[in-house]
Amino acid sequence: MYTTLSVLLILSLSFLACEGGDTCCSQPCQNRGVCTAIGQDSYECDCTRTGYYGQNCTTPEFFTWLKVSLKPKLNTVHFIMTHFKAVWNIVNNISFLRNSVMRYVLTSRADLIDSPPTYNSAYGYKSWEAYSNLSYFTRTLPPVPKDCPTPMGVRGKKELPDVKVVAEKLLMRRKFIPDPQRTSLMFAFFAQHFTHQFFKTDMKRGPAFTKAKNHGVDLSHIYGEELERQHKLRLFKDGKLKYQVLDGEVYPPIASEVQVDMHYPPHVPESRRFAVGHEAFGLVPGLMMFATIWLREHNRVCDVLKQEHPDWDDERLFQTARLILIGETIKIVIEEYVQHLSGYHLKLKFDPELLFNQRFQYQNRISAEFNTLYHWHPLMPDNFHIQDEVYNYKQFLYNTSIVTDYGINNLVESFSKQIAGRVAGGRNVPLALVMVATKSLENGRQMRFQSLNSYRMRFNMKPYTSFEELTGEKEMAAELEELYGHVDAVELYSGLLVEKPRTNAIFGETIVEMGAPYSLKGLMGNPICSPEYWKPSTFGGKVGFDIINTATLQKLVCNNVKGPCPIASFLVPDGVDSVATTINASTSHSGSKDMNPTLLLKERASEL
């Protein structure tokens, strides 16, 4: 699994003195073995069903040795999947080959996620509470024991560096670094909108807790988390959601009229305080754009179902439309969103039947590590380009007028043409969002996340042996060494953002190899993907089933705008250069001249 040298370096930790500390602080148990401290000077590794044995679960059983010996390295697999396009074109056109590879992608990723969940931030060992208490994010790795010699166990300095210093030296943008994959802002806002149905940190209780009632794709960001909110947003006629019509087009209703709580600062006029499923989506026009598109889609699907089933009542139309929209969402996410991020030439496929004969559990719990990993704030540009206008953050935040003044068509076109920032490689978090990154570091420390290298090993990656290997250069490597002292002490969040990107890619290896298992398990673990649900009758018959199976981002937009349909793309088209150098601060559309963007973002940090 790792090189001999790497294993020896890892095992050497188990012999370091942990004076006055937990004997598991050195994380001696490898290959997913479970460490239990025995007294003050001993420990025991439980190697059950790991495929390894020995004091530290490092000696492979024969079939494990054979499997590991034959298995290619993750970077080799990535190289194969992102090259040899002609070969993959053949695979994509032969159904059983494409299905076989896609099934392997799904199962190999999903098998890395524990189901049922094993830990939460309050318990470094298995407990019924860790399994049953849904108010916690689950944990992939247990917290670092409280009484270790260093914050990361036994490696590194006695104290972690100041979070503001880490953010300033390693994370803050010097100059905008565009994503070499040409990811668009349409993708960035889709990511933010999509993930906030299950990333809902309950900051009143702490970063280990979630306000989400469900740990997966339930579209609560469209329909509301609580039943009371859902009912306020519903029209209770023909299954539809409430709406208003402006200039002949449908938009979300006004918050005061439907009595739904939304987070808006005092300067936003009542007439611009739109009400949607997530209370914070008035923050950014890109979020309200997607909220509007999905509102229109829900009501459109209700019309289709009503025509097909004129005898159905409001409740059945609503519930069935919601199931259809969940299916549309998952299909778009796998076949376009994940497809874009992967860079694979294999054409990814949303087909739940691929897993029907596999060992697979249709349940999911969102982990705190996944929540942290998904803080992709470097995606955001320095300013936002909409047609001929350029908005800075001060003008953009809470400016819902942008949505109605330009219309969905123009926003989709503009966001599809503007390039997003590269996430990995360090020093690309916009100044306006640095405090959010700082908060992410603080939260990780509060939850006592293990190191970047610990998570790399957990997800079958070789641990980094030097700072230069981690960053791929010398300057940030030197800064990291000064701050952390040892590569095994680099924190998860800072490590993810400074890690060297893969060749011409938006991410480094760790984000991809950690994020993909969480994503695919969460998507395919949805109840609608189970054999009991995945059949036409669940979705109102063939008509509803076809809506899911033919869903695309482009179709979603075209079905819900008037006039010519704009290009809707997660990839900025070739030849488009939208990174302007000037900001039109006098734009008449800003409507937010007195806002302090840093204060507003600080206020809503947990919602970003």
Max Cα-Cα span within the chain: 74
475 phi/psi in degrees, rounded to 5: -65, -55
Residue 223 has phi, psi (to 5 degrees) of: -100, -10
First CA to last CA distance, the chain: 36
Which phi and psi angles does 573 have, rounded to 5°? -60, 145
The two structure tokens encoding residue 19: 């004076």
Active-site entry in 119, 264, 374, 455: 374
Residue 196: active-site member: yes
**Which DSSP state fits 124?**
S
Q: Determine contact, residues 346/92, Cβ cutoff 8 Å.
A: yes
Joined together, the tokens standing for residue 222 give 């469209």
The distance of Cα 268 from the centroid of its chain, to the nearest Å, equals 29
Rg, the chain, Cα only: 24
Dihedral angle sign, alpha carbons of residues 148, 149, 151, 154: negative
CB burial class (10 A; 0-12, 13-18, 19+) of residue 72? Answer: exposed
DSSP lists the bridge partners of residue 564 as: none
Closest-CA residue to 287 (of 410, 429, 386, 399): 399
Residues in the chain: 608
Phi first, then psi: give them for residue 249, nearest 5 degrees: -125, 150
Q: What is the torsion angle, in degrees rounded to the nearest 10, for the CA atoms of residue 443, residue 444, residue 448 and residue 450? A: 170
Marked catalytic residue, from 78, 196, 221, 298: 196
Is residue 221 annotated as a catalytic residue, yes or no? no
DSSP string computed for 525-568: TSGGGSTTT-SGGGGTSHHHHHHHHT--HHHHHHTT-SSSPPP-
Q: Which amino acid is at 469?
A: E
DSSP string, 316-345: HHHHHHHHHHHHHHHHHIIIIIIHHHH--S
Element (H, E) at 572: none
Catalytic residues: 196, 374
